Amino acid sequence: MGAKAFLGFVPWIIFWVVSGPSTWEYAAGGALVAALILLIPSHERGRIKLLEIVSVLFFGALTIAGLVLDHSRLLWLEEYAQAISSAVLAVVVLGSLAFTPFTEQYAREQVPQQFWSTPQFKHVNRTLTLVWGLTFAVCAVLGMFAQPDHGGSAWLNWIIPIAVLVGAFKFTAWYPERVKADARAAGTAPA
């Protein structure tokens, strides 16, 4: 996973940064616009990714809800928008383990096709996808407890989640290289 994978998270980052009790509708609209813009090149290449589809659907649904539903029916969303978005990502990413791990779609853009079916490639992508799914699950749980009336909101809503996300990005950069190095040392690396 490289820069393209990071771009896939841009709509979610926009939502997390802009979203608040009185701004989640704008955050959802901005995230939807970003998701649609990012979808265009993938659609033109014929390689639409799971994260792109989920981004458009999730932020589209939030934007529509914000436009058509009465404000009083959306108070729960104002309070838990970030936790819900992280939970959606956790479910989608962990669910992808049953089919094609979500990281594999990005890895295939960087790894020659001859390695896509190797046990090493599959293992690395299952591991990375699990790490990302757990990362989003942790962020969702933290978001449930990060409400202003519970205290510690900055730590639970920003500091710890950002540290967890940075850790996941660093692990994503480190782990595949570590597996390759271990395979070379064991003499099992592909030529």
pLDDT number for residue 34:
97
pLDDT number for residue 190:
59
Structure tokens at 108: 């295939």
Q: Say yes or no to pLDDT of 159 above 80.
A: yes
Count of C-beta atoms within a 10 Å radius of residue 16: 22
Count of C-beta atoms within a 10 Å radius of residue 71: 9
Q: Do 164 and 132 form a contact (C-beta atoms < 8 A)?
A: no
**Confidence band for 107, pLDDT divided at 50, 70 and 90:** very high
Count of C-beta atoms within a 10 Å radius of residue 94: 18
Q: Where are the domains of the chain?
A: 3-186
Q: Say yes or no to pLDDT of 191 above 60.
A: no
Amino acid 121 reads F
Handedness of CA 148, 153, 158, 161 (dihedral sign): negative
pLDDT number for residue 161:
92
The Cα–Cα gap between 123 and 128 comes to 9
pLDDT number for residue 4:
65
Q: Which residues contact 14 (CB under 8 A, 6 or more apart)?
A: 27, 30, 31, 34
How long, in residues, is the chain?
Answer: 191
The Cα–Cα gap between 161 and 155 comes to 8
Q: How confident is the model over 30-54, as a mean pLDDT?
A: 92
Q: Which residue has the higher pLDDT, 63 or 155?
A: 63
pLDDT number for residue 152:
63
Q: Which residue has the higher pLDDT, 125 or 158?
A: 125
User: Alpha carbon of 191 to those of 115, 154, 179, 180, 184: distances in Å?
Assistant: 11, 49, 15, 11, 9
Count of C-beta atoms within a 10 Å radius of residue 65: 15
Q: Say yes or no to pLDDT of 72 above 90.
A: no
Structure tokens at 107: 């890895």
**Confidence band for 19, pLDDT divided at 50, 70 and 90:** confident
pLDDT number for residue 150:
58
Q: How confident is the model over 148-159, as a mean pLDDT?
A: 73
Q: Do 100 and 117 form a contact (C-beta atoms < 8 A)?
A: no
Q: Say yes or no to pLDDT of 148 above 80.
A: no
Structure tokens at 110: 């960087």
pLDDT number for residue 63:
95
User: Alpha carbon of 134 to those of 68, 90, 130, 181: distances in Å?
Assistant: 33, 7, 6, 25
**Confidence band for 71, pLDDT divided at 50, 70 and 90:** confident
Classify residue 109 by its DSSP letter.
T
